[in-house]
Amino acid sequence: MDNLNVGRHISGQFNEDLERVINHVMSMGGLVEKQLKDAINAMIEGDEKLAKKVLKGDYQVNDYEVNIDDECTRIIAKRQPAAGDLRLIMAIIKTITDLERIGDEAEKIAKVAQESFSKEQRDLLVSLENLGQSVLVMLQATLDAFTRMDFDAALKVHQTDDKIDREYEGLMRQLMTYMMEDPRSIPQIMSVIWSARALERIGDRCQNICEYIMYFVKGKVVRHTSPEDMENL
Amino acid sequence: MDNLNVGRHISGQFNEDLERVINHVMSMGGLVEKQLKDAINAMIEGDEKLAKKVLKGDYQVNDYEVNIDDECTRIIAKRQPAAGDLRLIMAIIKTITDLERIGDEAEKIAKVAQESFSKEQRDLLVSLENLGQSVLVMLQATLDAFTRMDFDAALKVHQTDDKIDREYEGLMRQLMTYMMEDPRSIPQIMSVIWSARALERIGDRCQNICEYIMYFVKGKVVRHTSPEDMENL
């Protein structure tokens, strides 16, 4: 990942501090991406060892959040940034909150991966593979848009959440049908539903991060605006 | 609500700006509390008109978030606050994000209130009354701790989330049993489950706000620390 584009956005004076904190956000993003990838694989393969690794790794994500938060507060106090610099720091503070919560969702998926499922129920978990893959691609594209602080890329990623929502809803209908057909498997299917829900929530959190990128670039809050108004920016 | 205690925490220079923004957070909190109360009542009474009112009111919550965010950024740029003042602004920026999301959860509950349920299924919604009441009390206590920036009160509220989680889990088991007994009602029961989940998430968000209060008062991030370490602060 390179952050040249971010460098172009910020004024000279803060470069060193800001570059450092941006690098930390990227490392955090890379770790969260790895956690999610491992959690999805653990779930699909039924790999308990990998699930355990994800559960153990979550404290590192939390440490990143606490440290970057602290770094941002110190930069504000020391450098008294204004305009674009301040907006960038605000965007970072909000982004890391969502990244940390994506880590929490990965943890939830890893917990489900540790539960015991019959062979048939295990097949249901595999049905999450497509949704998991779409969400992983969305997270990667979000982190990429963040690295380049690219408005257009962020807008494009933001719009893909519709696709995720549709995939999620289709899966939900399928899972509900299974429950109706075989009521004894309801507790296991509920676990699959919680995993699907966790994936869908990660899509929402990627959307949030895209909104912070757009806020930084355009200096305008795009949360709660219509897709058309976003495009017109 | 009074904010005398917050006044004691902040230095003279920023008083006017900060008092204004704190008053806005309180108004936002009051509105979110009203939205949640109305959503719960709409669900329990099956009051579609009230549900509609909640759905219509959400844009006001969103407006508060955008405006307070903007106010905070302007205060940082203009006043260049340090130490406690800066921590207070950081706590406010994070608090309003969670308040806005609590508003979103209330919206989800109101949407469920608009769905059609049979008389029997309606009784299931009534089973959410206790959980709804506990969550409402938790939100009120959270807003009260915020108003007074009271560490001990925030710690106490933080700990009540365990009770909410237990109530939620008990309810979940009950709802799963209903699904197994009457598979045809699964789609409706899933709606009840989403409402229960929304309530449980509001408890988590109240916990987040309590953590920001503790961060402001003690200058130390308490997120991700054990309950014992929190008490030792």
Q: What is the CA radius of gyration of chain B?
A: 19
Q: Residue B213 pLDDT more than 90? A: yes
Q: Per-residue pLDDT tens for A60-96?
A: 999 999 999 999 999 999 888 888 889 999 999 999 9
Q: Average pLDDT over chain A, rounded to whole?
A: 90
pLDDT of residue A4: 42
**Residues in A lying within 8 Å of B, measured between beta carbons:** 59, 62-63, 65-66, 69-70, 73, 76-77, 80-83, 86-87, 90, 93-94, 97, 176, 179-181, 183-184, 186-187, 190, 221, 223-224
| Residue where the block lists tokens 């904010």 | B3
CA distance B94 to chain A (A): 8
- How many interchain CB pairs under 8 A, A with B? 69
Per-residue model confidence as pLDDT tens digits over A128-146? 999 999 999 999 999 999 9
Choose from A114-123, A201-210, B117-126, B223-232 the range with maximum mean pLDDT: A201-210
Provide the sign of the torsion angle of the four alpha carbons A93, A96, A100, A102, taken in this order: positive
Across the range B81-105, mean pLDDT stands at 93
Instruction: Describe the crossing of helices B15-45 and B83-113 by its angle, rounded to 10 degrees.
Output: 20
Residues A35-53, mean pLDDT to the nearest whole number? 95
pLDDT for B196: 96
Write down the pLDDT at residue A227. Answer: 77
State the amino acid at position A74 in one-letter form: R
What confidence tier does A3 reach under pLDDT thresholds 50, 70, 90? very low
HSE of A49, CA atoms in CB hemisphere, 13 A: 0
> Nearest C-alpha of chain B: how many angstroms from A202?
15
For CA atoms A208, A214, A215, A216, give the dihedral sign: positive
Q: Which CATH code fits A4-232?
A: 1.20.58.220
pLDDT digits (tens, 9 = 90+) for B65-76: 999 999 999 999
pLDDT at position B2, please? 40
- Mean per-residue pLDDT, A193-220: 95
Neighbours of B116 (CB within 10 A): 9
Query: Does pLDDT of B227 surpass 80?
Result: no
> Cβ contact (<8 Å) for B183 and A184?
no
Residue B4: its pLDDT value, please? Answer: 42
CB A128 within 8 A of CB A61: no
Task: Provide the pLDDT for residue B194.
Answer: 95
User: Are B85 and B79 in contact, with CB atoms under 8 Å apart?
Assistant: yes
Altogether, the residues listed in chain B come to a count of 233
Of A230 and B216, the one with more pLDDT: B216
CB-CB neighbors (< 8 A) of B190 in chain A: 176
Give the pLDDT confidence score for residue B229 in this predicted structure: 81
- Please say if the pLDDT value at position A50 is more than 90: yes
Q: What is the pLDDT of residues A144-185, one digit of tens each?
A: 999 999 999 999 999 999 999 999 999 999 999 999 999 999
List the single best residue of A74, A105, A190, A208 to mutate versus B (max B Cβ within 10 A).
A190
Could B221 and A66 be called an inter-chain contact, meaning their C-beta atoms sit closer than 8 Å?
yes
Question: Percent of chain B at pLDDT above 70?
Answer: 94
Residues sharing a CB contact under 8 Å with residue B208, sequence separation 6 or more, in sequence order: B94, B98, B223
Q: Chain B: residue nearest A173 by CA?
A: B187
- In this prediction, residues A118-129 reach a mean pLDDT of 82
Q: What is the pLDDT of residues B155-212, one digit of tens each?
A: 999 999 999 999 999 999 999 999 999 999 999 999 999 999 999 999 999 999 999 9
Spell out which chain B residues touch chain A, with contact meaning CB-CB distance below 8 angstroms: 59, 62-63, 65-66, 69-70, 73, 76-77, 80-83, 86-87, 90, 93-94, 97, 176, 179-180, 183-184, 186-187, 190, 221, 223-224
Average pLDDT over residues B128-152: 96
pLDDT at residue A124, rounded to an integer:
80
State how far residue B26 is from chain A, nearest Cα, in angstroms.
21
Q: Distance between CA atoms of A81 and A33, rounded to whole angstroms?
A: 30
Mean pLDDT, chain B, rounded, equals: 90
Asked if A62 and B221 come within 8 Å (Cβ–Cβ), the reply is: no
Mutate to test the interface with A, among B176, B178, B212 (most CBs of A within 10 A): B176
Of the candidates B123, B120, B125, the one whose C-alpha atom is nearest the C-alpha of residue B51 is B125
